[in-house]
Amino acid sequence: MPFSAQLINLMAALLLLIAFAMLSQRRILSLIYLFAWQGAVLAANSVIVAWSTGQTHLYYSALLTLALKAIILPWILHRLIIRLNIKWDVETLINIPTTMLVGIALVVISFNLALPVTQLAGTITRGTLGIAIAMVLLSFLMMITRRKAVPQVIGFLAMENGLFFAATSTTYGMPMVVELGIALDVLVGMLILGIFFFQVREAFDSLDLKHMEKLREE
């Protein structure tokens, strides 16, 4: 196996470990730090793929990923929890050991789903598609097992990271104009969600989404 392929597999393994760490994390600040590390590893993976395949547009993609997902979005999230005075732990609907067991099952399913594609693919990153699908499913699991709004938003952003990694794994990334459009949408969406957090906090003095269900019933 080429050295570049080994590095790519190493980055993929790190991303999977970070996904599991986010799934099991109970502290909101640590969850934001893990999200930032996930963005940094994604950027490093894009650089390695660009270097090994000659896809120069991936260097710009890596720079955009590093700036947005490893610096800007974590900084916005960190400022939000400070402004909202959030000091609570991450609350889950089911206990962490059960969540981790479900996560392991999702990883097995992901590799089985990716197997037909990886057998036909000819890219150097074909072996990482299973991990990319697992990242998406683990992020979705994190979203549906959290009760607070902020961890659910982080889960959504992590899911977008998984989709970006899947695109890099299958087709060496998306066209730059598409990536710029997605980055702008994510940034604007994050700003809108920040305003939404403040409105929910003012209305209910809490960011627990169970209050939204009470409002719907009324």
Q: What is the residue-wise DSSP string for 92-152? A: BSS-HHHHHHHHHHHHHHHHHHHHHHHHH--STTGGGHHHHHHHHHHHHHHHHTB-BHHHH
Residue 18 has pLDDT above 70, yes or no: yes
Mean pLDDT confidence for 66-84: 84
Q: Say what the pLDDT of residue 121 is.
A: 62
User: What is the total count of domains within the chain?
Assistant: 1
User: Would residue 53 count as lying in a domain?
Assistant: yes
Domain that holds residue 125: 3-210
Write down the pTM of the prediction.
0.80
Structure confidence by residue, pLDDT tens digits, 167-188 = 777 776 665 545 655 665 666 6
Give the pLDDT score at 218. Answer: 47
The span from the CA of 75 to the CA of 118, in Å, is 36
Structure tokens at 68: 């947005």
What pLDDT band is residue 82 in, cutting at 50, 70 and 90? confident
In percent, the amount of the chain with pLDDT more than 70 equals 71
Residue 215 inside a domain? The answer is no
Residue from 62, 217, 86 nearest 153 by CA: 86
Q: What's the whole-number average pLDDT of the chain?
A: 78
Does residue 112 or residue 119 have the better pLDDT?
112
Q: Is residue 23 part of a domain?
A: yes
Q: Is residue 88 in some structural domain?
A: yes
Predicted confidence at residue 16, as pLDDT, reads 93
What pLDDT shows up at residue 161? 87
User: Exposed, middle or buried, 65 (CB in 10 Å: 0-12/13-18/19+)?
Assistant: buried
216 found inside a domain: no
On the question of pLDDT at 37 being above 90, the answer is yes
Within a domain: residue 218?
no
The model's confidence at residue 90, banded by pLDDT at 50, 70 and 90, is low
In angstroms, the CA 163 to CA 155 distance is 12
Residue 7 lies in a domain: yes
Name the band, by pLDDT with cuts 50, 70 and 90, for residue 34.
Answer: very high
What's the CA gap between 148 and 78, in Å, rounded? 15
Report which residue type is found at 178. Answer: V
pLDDT at 36: 93
Residue 78, pLDDT > 90, answer no
Higher-pLDDT residue of 186, 202: 186
Q: Is pLDDT of 22 > 70?
A: yes
Percent of the chain that is helix, strand, coil (3-state, to 5) = 80, 5, 15
Nearest CA to 204 out of 191, 216, 192 is that of 216
For range 158-173, the mean pLDDT: 80
Residues ≥6 apart with Cβ < 8 Å to 157: 35, 69, 73, 186, 190
Give domain status of residue 217, yes or no.
no
